[in-house]
Amino acid sequence: MKAFMGIVLILLAGLGASVWIGFHTKLSEGKLPYDDDQKGISEQVVIKFSHVVAENTPKGLAAQRFAQRVNEKSAGKIKIEVIPNGGLYSDQEELEALQRGDVQMIAPATTKLSSFSSKWQVLDLPYMMPTRDSIIEALNGEIGETLLGSLEERNMKGLALWTNGFKQITTNDGPIVQPSDLKGQRLRIMPSPVLERQFELVGAKAIGLDFNETYRLLESRELNGEENTISNIYSKKFFDVQSDLTISNHGFLGYAVIMNEDFWTKLTNDQQTIISEALDETTRWNQTQSFEMNDEQLSLIEDNSSIDIHYLTNEEKREWAKRWQPLYREFEEEIGKELLSKMIKLRNNNKDF
Ligand code: SIN
């Protein structure tokens, strides 16, 4: 029995020694032993998603929701790291960073894509999509598909279109009710030939500048005003540094959700499916939530700020639309006749004033 116990002890000592030696060999080779959780993390795909707006906006919330759904669907194997407020890149920088592959995902305002394909300008034409339904129909149908497809030549994979809502006008020199009320004013716009001409046609000077520069320029009165959605006016507190807000619903602001094409093609089929499904769910949610959010934040501005709010009547809207009508012809060639006529048909089926 003693002899047997001796053999067992020797075997156990040998086993212990080999485990110890193995562990230290791995350490010296720089390979730490790991459990399954550790293995999962080392195989995690991390996707940086950069955008320029606040978190409590339609885009900010959609980005977070998308990140959460991807995390759930992939059991943590795909991590979407959302960086809001231009924390990584400003508007122009994020487009360049995406093409270089320094960031994998962005969701710029569609207006900012017109330098890549002039087709995108169709969404900037004033009063082109007069109702919420017309926006959804344009984005979810053939028009949206054509626009997303136009990004392929630029090493960008267009994955989805999100909405924010209708643009309104704010100024420090209001009230702005008639087109002539904007005469001589200097306004911030997103860089866009259509938007520049839009304000030129009513006698104002519009300058394309970064979104996150806007508050400072309005506060210092270097600019008189700007156009934006209620959600951006609310979340960036433009209402604090402007005296008048005109509810004109004259333009559309929405987003193209884009991934670096090389990065996208390197993902496995399963990874692509997870991302596409999470995006489809998020897009459906965004397309109702964004309008509700703009409505709620308009009430908050109304209740909590001293800005004067002017709601354009249908007759006043018709006056603005008449002044801007020449733009449709001016940009027909750049946008393309076919796309423009599809859009005009959609507009005519959805007229509301
Ligand atoms: C955004 O909503 O992403 C920014 C819009 C702007 O530049 O005005």
User: Which residue bears the tokens 């866009």?
Assistant: 192
CB–CB of 342/138 below 8 Å? no
Identify whether 28 is part of a domain: no
The pLDDT confidence band at residue 43, using thresholds 50, 70 and 90, is confident
CB–CB of 164/290 below 8 Å? yes
Question: Which pLDDT score, from 0 to 100, does residue 109 have?
Answer: 98
Q: How far is CA 16 from CA 10, 25, 229, in A?
A: 10, 14, 68
Residue 171 has pLDDT above 60, yes or no: yes
Question: Which pLDDT score, from 0 to 100, does residue 41 have?
Answer: 57
Identify whether 10 is part of a domain: no
Helix orientation angle between 337-349 and 132-140, rounded to the nearest 10 degrees = 140
Question: Which pLDDT score, from 0 to 100, does residue 5 have?
Answer: 53
The pLDDT confidence band at residue 45, using thresholds 50, 70 and 90, is very high
pLDDT (average), residues 254-277: 97
How close is the Cα of 53 to the center of ligand 1, in Å? 7
Exposed, middle or buried, 105 (CB in 10 Å: 0-12/13-18/19+)? buried
Residue 108 has pLDDT above 80, yes or no: yes
Phi and psi angles of residue 166, each rounded to the nearest 5 degrees, phi first: -85, 145
Q: 342 CB contacts (<8 Å, ≥6 apart)?
A: 142, 143
Identify whether 331 is part of a domain: yes
Residue 63 has pLDDT above 90, yes or no: yes
For residue 227, the ligand 1 atom closest to its alpha carbon is 8
How close is the Cα of 109 to the center of ligand 1, in Å? 6
DSSP state of 5: H
* Distance separating alpha carbons of residues 146 and 118, to the nearest angstrom: 12
Residue 90 has pLDDT above 70, yes or no: yes
How close is the Cα of 232 to the center of ligand 1, in Å? 7
Tally of domains within the chain: 1
How close is the Cα of 85 to the center of ligand 1, in Å? 10
The pLDDT confidence band at residue 6, using thresholds 50, 70 and 90, is low
Identify whether 29 is part of a domain: no
Identify whether 286 is part of a domain: yes
Contact 53 CB / ligand 1 (< 6 Å): yes
DSSP state of 313: P
Phi and psi angles of residue 306, each rounded to the nearest 5 degrees, phi first: -100, 10
The whole domain housing 72 covers: 42-349
DSSP lists the bridge partners of residue 187 as 206, 225
* Distance separating alpha carbons of residues 149 and 143, to the nearest angstrom: 10
Identify whether 296 is part of a domain: yes
The pLDDT confidence band at residue 352, using thresholds 50, 70 and 90, is confident
Residue 16 has pLDDT above 50, yes or no: no
pLDDT (average), residues 289-310: 97
For residue 226, the ligand 1 atom closest to its alpha carbon is 8
Q: Closest Cα to residue 295, out of 240, 231, 232?
A: 231
Contact 198 CB / ligand 1 (< 6 Å): no
Contact 109 CB / ligand 1 (< 6 Å): yes
How close is the Cα of 190 to the center of ligand 1, in Å? 7
CB–CB of 22/54 below 8 Å? no
Q: Closest Cα to residue 246, out of 202, 209, 200, 290?
A: 202
* Residue of higher predicted confidence among 1 and 92: 92
Question: Atom 3 in ligand 1: which residue has the minimum CA distance?
Answer: 109
CATH number of the structural domain spanning residue 198: 3.40.190.170
Alpha helices in 132-260 (DSSP H): 132-140, 142-149, 193-200, 214-219, 230-235
pLDDT (average), residues 43-51: 95
How close is the Cα of 211 to the center of ligand 1, in Å? 6
Contact 62 CB / ligand 1 (< 6 Å): no
Question: Which pLDDT score, from 0 to 100, does residue 30 have?
Answer: 37
Identify whether 270 is part of a domain: yes
Identify whether 236 is part of a domain: yes
Question: Which pLDDT score, from 0 to 100, does residue 19 have?
Answer: 43
Alpha helices in the chain (DSSP H): 2-28, 36-42, 58-73, 91-100, 132-140, 142-149, 193-200, 214-219, 230-235, 261-266, 269-304, 314-324, 326-330, 332-335, 337-349
* Distance separating alpha carbons of residues 25 and 247, to the nearest angstrom: 71
CB–CB of 87/53 below 8 Å? no
CB–CB of 190/228 below 8 Å? no
Question: Atom 8 in ligand 1: which residue has the minimum CA distance?
Answer: 211
pLDDT digits (tens, 9 = 90+) for 130-164: 999 999 999 999 999 999 999 998 889 999 999 99
Q: What does pTM read for this prediction?
A: 0.87
pLDDT (average), residues 96-124: 96
Question: Which pLDDT score, from 0 to 100, does residue 153 have?
Answer: 86
Question: Which pLDDT score, from 0 to 100, does residue 321 have?
Answer: 97
Contact 224 CB / ligand 1 (< 6 Å): no
Alpha helices in 110-219 (DSSP H): 132-140, 142-149, 193-200, 214-219
Residue 11 has pLDDT above 80, yes or no: no
